[in-house]
Structure 1
């Protein structure tokens, strides 16, 4: 029996692609630590690498917690890219911000969060007969 995480295969492939891209971005962000090191950047980069690698592996293996790790990775990325977008808006204005790739990537992440959570498979609670022995059913 095939395990399903999402209702459609296209959403599954979208989730795998996005999680791989986020993992690669977080893995290559280690190189930015050499330019300007701070302990906060080190913690965020390490957390991001761990969460995105767990998300990718869990999606490929179709484990139960795959959507949880994918959502964590997407939220962490969205928060930090949103911070840069907010700085660009405050410094240069809203209309100049449209030309930056940070804004476009932020919109893609938000749309991905919406699509992934809309089309995930809802698990029905299993009815375990052994646990219900001795209880009256009506």
Structure 2
């Protein structure tokens, strides 16, 4: 219906609906719902804002079970699956440690200049205590 809304000034509503094989009542019903949404949709919009705030406060780590628990503690009677649906719609996801999703240990500044290579990639030393090299790119923590 958004496509019809975008093309209606150029081609008109009826020809676009005819090409898409959509009844005009469907389009005008969609417009009426957009202008005056039902109570459930308005509540969902308000709840989505609260869910996003809880998710942001948690640093993006809370998934739907924890967000649901926080809402319950705040006195909001809402279903867990409704929270899941609203989080999915908003593109919010909790942190989980699996192979595909990692929290970077360091957020590097792309504008920062890298440290100079003082040994010119020569990692062998002529004598002990002449060259010290370390790599602290990832330090696992509990």
Give the TM-score category using the shorter length.
under 0.3
Higher relative contact order (CA 8 A, sep 6+): 1
Q: Which has the higher helix share?
A: 1
For normalisation by structure 1, the TM-score amounts to: 0.24
Larger Rg: 2
